[in-house]
Amino acid sequence: MRAPRVYLETYGCQMNVADSALVTAVLRRAGYASAERPDDADVILLNTCAIREHAEERVLGRLSYLYRFKSARPEVRLGLLGCMAQHNRAALVEKAWYLDLVAGPDAYRRLPEMIGAASFDPQVDVRLDRAETYADIPAAHAEGVRAYVTAMRGCDRFCAFCVVPYVRGRERSVPPNDLLREIRALADKGVREVMLLGQTVNAYRFDDVDFGELLRMIARVDGIERIRFTSPHPSDMSDSVIDAMATEPKVQPYVHLPLQSGSDRILAAMERGYTVDGYLALVAKLRRAIPGLAMSTDIIVGFHGEDDADFRATLEVMRAVSYDGAYTFKYSIRENTRAFKLGDTVSEDEKQRRLNEVIALQEQTSLERNRALIGQVFPVLVEGAARRGEGMLAGKTPQFKTAAFPAAPGIDAGDIEMVRVESVTGHSLTCSRV
């Protein structure tokens, strides 16, 4: 008899990717197999994100498309998972009346039960659980040389613009022994790089183990060659973490350090917990400690009250720091956040104009920083065939830059190959083998 099959789509951040690997593991334990296509599935699940504006409309459109498979075979179960399920469950159940289940990020352990119990009324579980870390469930990671490993869940920061604490709950760290067990198993399967995940991952603490000590513990795992993490909060970038980055060769010289705004007034309104001077001092400290450090950031334009002077201040900080890359966003009001009641003070047209200026500045800066690498030699962790260029392989430098170089017999995914940068764009490096 064929095992029931599950088709799972994932939207949003790397945390959702990791959660989908967890969901897959939970369902495999219960006897489910994976389906590559929705028309071959007995259960269809969407793992969603609630961070961006208009996300609900996009997900409802996708659910409407997937409903055709349930309509053709009424026994198919259709479910919504993740942050959007947590954030908008009432509206979604009303609009997508055909849903069989709605599960928040702390309800994945109950998915087999919810699928089995689905009937006329949808099964809904969006309760937050301050103790749930899923530490006892090894995630079903996709094949590859890199794996995303959840080190902590939730967030205690409550930045004014952010829904994460409301949809993922409060901070709780996965016990280090459970993390090490998972990472050793990944190394045995050929994973060479781990990316530790958490909404404020450097706030990790379990008993007397802080994030710096956790990095050192993982560095002792045989087979793991590279360690990365995202996203840290500037206020939690302790000396312990910086020292681990500076002295552990496996911890890579790359950090994503969200700025959000270059205006102290806007940072205070966002409730970010640091000033521009404090942030710049941290950047300088990191660069002194870690030679060759690459840095990326997050920028939000058009937050409540942001005027042109505030925006210009953000551009000035971007120029001062000279980021290798940036994730850029227009501010969008999110229900249930602290800033929701403030409303919007910047028009959509002005937000778009500011966003375009930020993107143009960052594109120029990224290109300039990459041009400075021409002629330099880097060790690249080979991931596989390059997306462009026949006969080319691709991988990441220690600074998390994509490098493409000519393939050759005997070079396989997981190998570390020395390459020399020959030409660049703002987003990638073209290299020769050394």
Instruction: Say how many Å lie between the first and final Cα of the chain, rounded.
Output: 54
CA-based nearest residue to 244, from 220, 222, 211: 211
What pLDDT is recorded for position 94? 86
CA separation for the pair 25, 149 (Å, rounded): 14
CA separation for the pair 102, 78 (Å, rounded): 9
Residue 408: pLDDT band by 50, 70, 90 thresholds? very high
Paired residues of 227 in beta bridges: 194, 251
Q: Please, is 325 exposed, middle or buried when counting C-beta atoms within 10 Å of its C-beta (0-12, 13-18, 19+)?
A: buried
CATH number at residue 308: 3.80.30.20
- Does 384 lie in the same domain as 356? no
CA separation, residue 164 to residues 259, 260, 426 (Å): 17, 16, 31
Q: What are phi and psi of 235, to 5 degrees?
A: -70, -15
CA-based nearest residue to 234, from 300, 196, 282: 282
Question: Does the residue 102 lie in any domain?
Answer: yes
Four-CA torsion 187, 190, 193, 196, nearest 10 degrees: -50
- Does 302 lie in the same domain as 162? yes
What pLDDT is recorded for position 320? 98
Question: Does the residue 183 lie in any domain?
Answer: yes
Residue 119: pLDDT band by 50, 70, 90 thresholds? confident
Residue 2: pLDDT band by 50, 70, 90 thresholds? confident
Among 125, 155, 175, the domain-final residue is 125
Q: Which amino acid is at 144?
A: G
Is 51's pLDDT higher than 90?
Answer: no
Listing from the earlier edge strand, what are the strands of the sheet with 254-256?
Answer: 254-256, 294-301, 325-330
CA-based nearest residue to 195, from 150, 254, 137, 234: 150
Among 65, 93, 125, the domain-final residue is 125
- Does 337 lie in the same domain as 382? no
Question: Does the residue 141 lie in any domain?
Answer: no
Is 360's pLDDT higher than 70?
Answer: yes
What pLDDT is recorded for position 302? 98
Asked if 405 and 392 touch (Cβ cutoff 8 Å), the reply is yes
- Write out the two tokens for 314: 């953000």
| Extended beta strands in 23-171, E state | 33-34, 43-48, 77-82, 101-103, 123-125, 146-150, 152-153
| Extended beta strands in 41-103, E state | 43-48, 77-82, 101-103
- Does 393 lie in the same domain as 367? no
Domain count, the chain: 3
- Does 321 lie in the same domain as 212? yes
Asked if 173 and 204 touch (Cβ cutoff 8 Å), the reply is yes
316-335 mean pLDDT:
95
| Number of other CB atoms surrounding residue 324 within 10 Å | 21
- Does 290 lie in the same domain as 179? yes
Q: What share of the chain is helix, strand, coil (3-state, %, to 5)?
A: 40, 25, 40
- Does 151 lie in the same domain as 25? no
Is 99's pLDDT higher than 90?
Answer: yes
CATH number at residue 98: 3.40.50.12160
What pLDDT is recorded for position 14? 87
Residue 415: pLDDT band by 50, 70, 90 thresholds? very high
pLDDT, tens digit (0-9, with 9 covering 90-100), for 137-150 = 989 998 999 999 99
Q: What is the pTM of this model?
A: 0.92
Question: Does the residue 132 lie in any domain?
Answer: no
Among 90, 125, 160, the domain-final residue is 125
- Does 394 lie in the same domain as 367? no
CA-based nearest residue to 58, from 46, 44, 68: 46
Question: Does the residue 140 lie in any domain?
Answer: no
What pairing do the DSSP bridges indicate for beta strands 428-433 and 416-424? antiparallel
pLDDT, tens digit (0-9, with 9 covering 90-100), for 4-18 = 999 999 988 888 899
CA separation for the pair 267, 323 (Å, rounded): 19
Question: Does the residue 104 lie in any domain?
Answer: yes
What pLDDT is recorded for position 53? 60
Is 161's pLDDT higher than 70?
Answer: yes
CA-based nearest residue to 293, from 329, 259, 324, 335: 324
CA separation for the pair 52, 329 (Å, rounded): 9
- Angle 12-16-19 (CA atoms, 0-180°, nearest 5)? 165
Asked if 430 and 423 touch (Cβ cutoff 8 Å), the reply is yes
CA separation for the pair 179, 136 (Å, rounded): 10
- Does 289 lie in the same domain as 218? yes
- Choice among 45-49, 169-173, 220-224 with the minimum mean pLDDT: 45-49
Asked if 34 and 3 touch (Cβ cutoff 8 Å), the reply is no
Question: Does the residue 352 lie in any domain?
Answer: yes
* Domain range for 384: 377-433
The more confidently predicted of residues 333 and 422 is 422
The tokens 């409060």 sit on which residue? 170
CA separation for the pair 376, 421 (Å, rounded): 6
Is 307's pLDDT higher than 90?
Answer: yes
Question: Does the residue 263 lie in any domain?
Answer: yes
- Does 362 lie in the same domain as 426? no
- Does 183 lie in the same domain as 118? no
Residue 52: pLDDT band by 50, 70, 90 thresholds? low
- Does 382 lie in the same domain as 366? no
pLDDT, tens digit (0-9, with 9 covering 90-100), for 57-97 = 788 889 999 999 999 999 999 999 988 877 777 778 888 89
pLDDT, tens digit (0-9, with 9 covering 90-100), for 361-390 = 999 999 999 999 999 999 999 999 998 878
CA separation for the pair 98, 408 (Å, rounded): 52
pLDDT, tens digit (0-9, with 9 covering 90-100), for 230-283 = 999 999 999 999 999 999 999 999 999 999 999 999 999 999 999 999 999 999
| Number of other CB atoms surrounding residue 203 within 10 Å | 21
